[in-house]
Amino acid sequence: MITINDLSSVVGGVNHGPAGSRSAQYQNLCTQPGSRQQFDYMVKHMVPDSSEAPGFKHRVVKSVGDVCGWPVPK
């Protein structure tokens, strides 16, 4: 069994906040090399949420844009 004292010696991972926190999401989605280029690709291939066509749903692109502070077209 892992105790709280065992956890104090864990190193690495995200600098601030638990996994799944906004800071972890920001670090994973927005600060990696090529993150903005990947987001721009998603915007170019965005489809409406109700669409069955291949592409990135608007809600997904908006979610990434909101976390990173990047503008998302309507």
Question: What tens digit of pLDDT does each residue of 21-66 get?
Answer: 667 778 888 898 999 999 999 999 999 999 999 999 999 999 999 8
Exposure string over 53-65, b if 16+ CB within 10 A, otherwise e: eeebebeebeebb
Predicted pLDDT at 11? 55
Whether 63 is in a domain gets the answer: yes
Whether 31 is in a domain gets the answer: yes
Whether 15 is in a domain gets the answer: no
For residue 46, list its beta bridge partners: 56
Predicted pLDDT at 1? 72
Whether 36 is in a domain gets the answer: yes
Predicted pLDDT at 19? 56
Q: What is the pTM of this model?
A: 0.66
Alpha carbon distance 63, 29 (integer Å): 10
For 21, 22, 25, 35, 65, the CA distances from 16, given in Å and listed in that order, are 9, 9, 11, 20, 20
Number of domains in the chain: 1
Predicted pLDDT at 3? 73
Predicted pLDDT at 47? 95
